[in-house]
Structure 1
Amino acid sequence: MAMLDNLLIRTRAIPPDPPRRRGATTLGPERQRFGLLKAVLAAVPWLQVGMGAAIVLLAAMVPWGTSQVLSAMDRQILAIDVTGTLVGENRTDLERKAGDWIGKSFFATDLSEIKNELERRPWVESAAVRRLWPDRLEIEIREKKPLAYWNSNRLVSRTGELFSPDNPEVAGRLPRLAGPDERVRDVISMARTMSDTLAGHGLGFAGLTLEQRGAWTLSLANGIEVVLGRDQVEERFARFLTVYESRLISRADEVSQVDARYTNGVAVKWKSDKLTGSGSKS
């Protein structure tokens, strides 16, 4: 009986190990997570990430570095040179005004502030300001070019800008224009047309006035005043030239005024105060 028991124990079936798939490996949970992390890290383009980080850091440091370099190099402005052909402006006055910026920071000084300040001066059309290392500024002044005197105490530039300097007389001998300020471009246009026409007839243009009510009066370089009125101004101007060349040219130095506001002729006022005329006034 004992031998039978031993035999039964020795021959008892022992469950076999579960079959394994050929080539498969079983990993624990920790080793699985490590393998996943390793795969993710392997997929990251570390070279590109490193270069991108370096570029961002460098870009952030450039303003700081530039500021530090400029601060180390900065100096005070010790001299300012004023250049340009000046007629109305006084170079000494400009240099004295520019002296307001002597001693200021070479780099921190706002050049546009200097430019705007100088361009507020009546004669200054534009001011170009630039730095000259290590401690100088150069200011180039461009003046307005006067075309004519305007309403006796101001000037009008070739671009049609009215300005009021303290010394308008330095503009020299110029035509005299007058009229409402809002009509300045109309007066300039008419003056140019008449001046060109007069030059073709050997006459000089001295001035033109537009009254508030719209009447035009022309002044010639020989002293003759031509009254043209409000209507048909071009036709009356042409009529004056015709009469002048046919009847008055030989006695021009005796003529004070010609009134062209007539339908078929003109009225002449002589310097001797005699008034003669023909035609009917309209």
Structure 2
Amino acid sequence: MLTTLLVRTRAVPPDPPRRRGATTLGPEPDRFGLVKAVLAAVPWLKVGIGATVVLLAAMLPWAMDRALTAMDQQIVAVDVHGDFIGESRVAIERAAGEWVGKSYFATDLEAIKSELEQRPWVASAAVKRVWPGRLEIDIREKKPLAYWTDGRLVSRSGELFTPPNPEVAGRLPRLAGPDERVREVITMARTMSERLVGHGLGFAGLSLETRGAWTLTLNSGVEVVLGRDQVSRRFERFITVYENRLASRLNEVSRVDARYSNGVAVQWKADVAMATPKS
């Protein structure tokens, strides 16, 4: 007797058809995976802070400019300070009047300083702002040491200058020589002046000729010719002769020539005959 067995099975879906000439495809890759990985690796907090700092730095000059513009004032006054002999405080204040009314912050202080130092008597100028609307100027004048050739003045630093009013320097020694040798003349004059003072003599001037010859002038008017060679030795010889022979009679001397090897030649003043009219 045949027994019919019924076997229940699950339906198994058939294999998907294969493409001709191709292998079986795997799972499709994520096209944005690399981008996601890069984005995930970025420290966004630090990036945000950095971007903020850069933005603020870029805006700072603009903000400062706006703040200065809002704070800017006009210059309403200029104060001038200094001890003046040759320069005029009034003249400087008048010249400074051109800066009144200009911008407090935009005014070029270096330009003002440069302009002031072009004035003949001005050795240096310091300019500063004083809030809210003033300029303060400190002037240092040149200190004249002596009169120089052609009425010019020479300062203690050895600078030659030509002010319009050299006479305000008062009584000063007179020096002369080539302009390029002015410091040499000053050095020699200082040395001789110090030596003369020690012997009760006054220094009035020193001249250096183009050919190199030196002539000293005392405040009594006596000229001492020293020549070109051995100038210091000849000067000392004059001092010795003065101490031994001329100290009591210097007012009778007109000129001393120290260019001799063993002594000096003295030129005496001419005697003035005193005529008494007869009655």
Same-fold call, TM cutoff 0.5: yes
Distance 1:79 1:140 in 2: 14
Q: Which amino acid aligns with 1:146?
A: P
Partner of 1:158: 156
Structure 2 counterparts to residues 158-197 of structure 1, below 5 A: 158-197=156-195
Using the TM superposition, give the Cα deviation of residue 202 of structure 1 relative to its aligned residue in structure 2, in angstroms: 2.1
**DSSP 3-state at the match of 1:127:** strand
Change over 3 Å in CA distance of 1:29–1:229 after alignment to 2: same
Q: Which amino acid aligns with 1:101?
A: W
**DSSP 3-state at the match of 2:32:** helix
Q: Which amino acid aligns with 2:29?
A: P
Change over 3 Å in CA distance of 1:13–1:112 after alignment to 2: closer
- 1:118 equivalenced with 2:116 (yes/no): yes
Q: 245, 259, 262: which one pairs with 2:260?
A: 262
Partner of 2:68: 70
Q: Contact conserved, 1:152 with 1:176, CA < 8 A, in 2?
A: no
**Identity value in percent:** 68
Partner of 1:38: 36
Q: Contact conserved, 1:225 with 1:258, CA < 8 A, in 2?
A: yes
Partner of 2:276: none
- 1:79 equivalenced with 2:44 (yes/no): no
- 1:97 equivalenced with 2:98 (yes/no): no
Distance 1:251 1:149 in 2: 29
Using the TM superposition, give the Cα deviation of residue 248 of structure 1 relative to its aligned residue in structure 2, in angstroms: 0.4
Change over 3 Å in CA distance of 1:57–1:13 after alignment to 2: closer
Distance 1:12 1:84 in 2: 116
Q: Contact conserved, 1:78 with 1:102, CA < 8 A, in 2?
A: yes
Distance 1:13 1:108 in 2: 92
Partner of 1:278: none
Using the TM superposition, give the Cα deviation of residue 134 of structure 1 relative to its aligned residue in structure 2, in angstroms: 1.1
Using the TM superposition, give the Cα deviation of residue 63 of structure 1 relative to its aligned residue in structure 2, in angstroms: 1.1
Q: Which moved more, 1:189-198 or 1:122-131?
A: 189-198
Q: Which 4+ residue blocks in structure 1 deviate beyond 4 angstroms?
A: 9-16
Tell me the matched-pair count: 260
Calculate the TM-score normalised by the size of structure 2.
0.86
Q: Which amino acid aligns with 1:68?
A: R
Partner of 1:53: 51
Change over 3 Å in CA distance of 1:164–1:273 after alignment to 2: farther
Partner of 2:228: 230
Using the TM superposition, give the Cα deviation of residue 216 of structure 1 relative to its aligned residue in structure 2, in angstroms: 0.3
Query: Could you say what the CA RMSD is over the residues aligned between the two structures, in angstroms?
Result: 2.7
Using the TM superposition, give the Cα deviation of residue 41 of structure 1 relative to its aligned residue in structure 2, in angstroms: 2.0
Q: Which amino acid aligns with 2:202?
A: G
Q: Contact conserved, 1:175 with 1:207, CA < 8 A, in 2?
A: yes
Query: What per-residue deviation string (whole Å, max 9, x for no partner) do you get for residues 21-59 of structure 1?
Result: xxxxx97423x634x333322321222222221121111
Using the TM superposition, give the Cα deviation of residue 261 of structure 1 relative to its aligned residue in structure 2, in angstroms: 1.1
Q: Where do 5+ consecutive residues of structure 1 fail to align?
A: 17-25, 275-282
Change over 3 Å in CA distance of 1:11–1:43 after alignment to 2: closer
**DSSP 3-state at the match of 1:76:** coil
Change over 3 Å in CA distance of 1:141–1:250 after alignment to 2: same
Distance 2:122 2:10 in 1: 122
Q: Which amino acid aligns with 2:146?
A: A
Q: Which amino acid aligns with 2:230?
A: Q
Query: What per-residue deviation string (whole Å, max 9, x for no partner) do you get for residues 133-170 of structure 1?
Result: 11111110010111111115111111111000011111
**DSSP 3-state at the match of 2:249:** helix
Q: 91, 104, 107: which one pairs with 1:109?
A: 107
Q: Which has more helix, going by share of residues?
A: 1
Calculate the TM-score normalised by the size of structure 1.
0.85
Distance 2:56 2:271 in 1: 90
Q: Where do 5+ consecutive residues of structure 2 fail to align?
A: 16-25, 273-279
